[in-house]
Amino acid sequence: MFRNKTDVEETVPPLIDQSPRPKNQPAARGKTAKKSVAREYAEALMVALLLAFFIRSFVVQAFKIPSGSMLPTLQIGDHILVNKFVYGLRLPYPFEKTIAEWGQPQRGDVIVFIYPRDPSKDFIKRIVAVGGDTVEIRHKQLYVNGAKVDDPYATFADGDQQVPGPRDNFGPVTVPPQKLFVMGDNRDRSHDGRFWGFVDRDDVKGKAFLIYWSWDGSDRWVRWERIGHLIPGAIE
């Protein structure tokens, strides 16, 4: 009437499949795992590259100072950061065009811009006059709107010595709307607006604000005291 319990257990098929597994199954799983790890690394790298491209194109870009036109503010071999977001949203190369503005360049700002005579080059100078200002230089002294400008950043390698031409006596000229007049802090050694005119507002790439690295291979290599140094005038 009742079956023996042992007989029932023996007739029930095993719950766990004990059949032998194919020999290549562990290798297939290992290959899948390796593909998954490789994919994760590739995706992380792609995200990092896209993020770096976005930051460089729209937020902050690094530049190196190749000449002494901004001495002593910026020295040859200084590596600087430029805020590209401070004046507006600007499309990167090859468009090089500002599509939205929310800030205006001011006198005293140190800016990086496209050189008007050669669009393949970037220049860095200090703004001394903006649209609507009348700028003049008399015997090396800067005047804006008829008022003498106290310019603490200007230096003169030749002292009081003057030469014929626009370097030491310039203007007066009125800066057109949407234009800027710029000069290098090293006034006697700067090729700037006195020689080639105005900077178009749309050609401004950004405002320099920080020295993140500085070195001079022919002197003492790393200039530790300049690293992290805010560029004078950049926060005024």
Identify the pLDDT of residue 201. Answer: 94
Identify the pLDDT of residue 141. Answer: 96
Q: Provide the percentage of residues in the chain whose pLDDT is more than 70.
A: 78
Task: Give, in order, the Cα–Cα distances in Å from 141 to each of 72, 131, 144, 151, 155.
Answer: 18, 20, 10, 9, 11
What confidence tens digit (pLDDT) does each residue in 79-135 have? 999 999 899 887 776 777 777 788 899 999 999 999 999 999 999 999 999 999 999
Q: Rounded distance, CA 110 to CA 223, Å?
A: 21
CA 34 to chain CA centroid, Å, is 38
Cβ neighbours for 73, distance < 8 A, ≥ 6 positions apart? 110, 126, 153, 185, 231, 232, 233
CB atoms within 10 A of CB 17: 8
Hey, which residues are catalytic here? 69, 125
CB–CB of 236/217 below 8 Å? no
In the chain, where do the E strands start and end? 60-64, 78-83, 88-91, 97-101, 110-114, 122-130, 134-138, 141-144, 147-148, 170-174, 179-183, 199-200, 204-216, 221-222, 229-230
Task: Specify the pTM.
Answer: 0.76
Q: Is the pLDDT of residue 2 over 70?
A: no
Domains and CATH numbers, the chain: 58-230 (2.10.109.10)
Identify the pLDDT of residue 137. Answer: 97
Identify the pLDDT of residue 102. Answer: 84
